[in-house]
């Protein structure tokens, strides 16, 4: 499916037209570079919670997620214990999935330990060698780079981050630009994009899992 006209007549990625929440997220955030520890920890966490659910569900619960996870301050979330997990299991504002909640807490400890190294790790997977896809059929769900990223994250101790989730993360934080070619959202200027693409051996060594 190619880019479709939105309510203002401008062409957009088809998925953005499903709900006003999608439209705002698509126009203002999706694919824009994220370079803060808290911002990237938030995206990793939300992509993991989205697994098996609609992204619209996550968007509509985003404020509640931010309250539940201390504004995605990894240093704070890393201190959460069993009582906090039970508190979150009782929070109707978020997705009450015990495995995903415990993964978010465990991942916070890894993010806190890595610090700015977490940012450097993710930015090392920015792909600058791709052109925008022409249709939604050209957008992959998994790539060698996302498989390599998932493997590296798991190697550091991350949970609930597989190759598909890793690729959704790459799309969300601007490591790849998957806005369609005719989409009205302009490419982010290369001069303002951090990172430069994965080292060849990191990707070449990856095989789909």
Q: Assess contact for 123 and 195: CB atoms under 8 A.
A: yes
Whether 199 has a pLDDT exceeding 50, the answer reads: no
- CB-based contacts of 52, cutoff 8 Å, min separation 6: none
- Identify the band that residue 134 occupies on the pLDDT scale cut at 50, 70 and 90: very high
What pLDDT shows up at residue 198? 47
User: Six-digit token pair at 18?
Assistant: 């499903």
- Least Cα distance to 120 among 128, 129, 111 occurs for 111
Q: What is the mean pLDDT of residues 81-104?
A: 98
Distance of alpha carbon 52 from alpha carbon 58, whole angstroms: 11
- Identify the band that residue 196 occupies on the pLDDT scale cut at 50, 70 and 90: low
Q: Assess contact for 47 and 168: CB atoms under 8 A.
A: yes
What is the value of pTM for the model shown? Answer: 0.91
CATH architecture of the domain with residue range 20-204: Orthogonal Bundle (1.10)
Distance of alpha carbon 139 from alpha carbon 148, whole angstroms: 18
Distance of alpha carbon 31 from alpha carbon 199, whole angstroms: 21
- CB-based contacts of 92, cutoff 8 Å, min separation 6: none
- Supply the residues annotated as catalytic: 25, 47, 55
User: Six-digit token pair at 196?
Assistant: 């430069």
Buried b (16+ CB within 10 A) or exposed e, 147-156: bbbbbbbeee
- Least Cα distance to 85 among 107, 62, 68 occurs for 68
Whether 39 has a pLDDT exceeding 90, the answer reads: yes
Distance of alpha carbon 37 from alpha carbon 44, whole angstroms: 11
Q: What is the mean pLDDT of residues 2-12?
A: 97
């Amino acid at each position: 499916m190619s880019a479709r006209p939105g309510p203002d007549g401008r062409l957009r990625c088809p998925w953005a037209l499903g709900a006003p929440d999608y439209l705002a997220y698509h126009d203002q955030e999706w694919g824009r570079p994220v370079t803060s520890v808290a911002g990237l920890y938030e995206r990793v966490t939300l992509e993991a919670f989205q697994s098996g659910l609609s992204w619209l569900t996550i968007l509509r619960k985003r404020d509640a997620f931010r309250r539940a996870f201390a504004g995605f301050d990894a240093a704070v979330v890393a201190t959460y214990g069993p009582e906090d997990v039970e508190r979150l299991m009782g929070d109707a504002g978020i997705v009450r999935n015990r495995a995903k909640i415990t993964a978010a807490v465990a991942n916070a400890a890894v993010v806190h330990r890595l610090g700015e190294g977490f940012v450097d790790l993710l930015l090392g997977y920015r792909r600058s060698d791709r052109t925008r896809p022409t249709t939604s059929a050209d957008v992959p769900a998994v790539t060698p780079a996302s498989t390599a990223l998932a493997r590296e994250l798991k190697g550091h101790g991350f949970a609930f981050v597989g190759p598909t989730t890793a690729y959704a993360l790459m799309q969300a934080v601007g490591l790849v630009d998957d806005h369609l070619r005719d989409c009205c959202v302009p490419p982010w200027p290369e001069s303002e994009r951090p990172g430069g693409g994965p080292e060849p051996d990191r990707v070449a060594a990856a095989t789909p899992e």
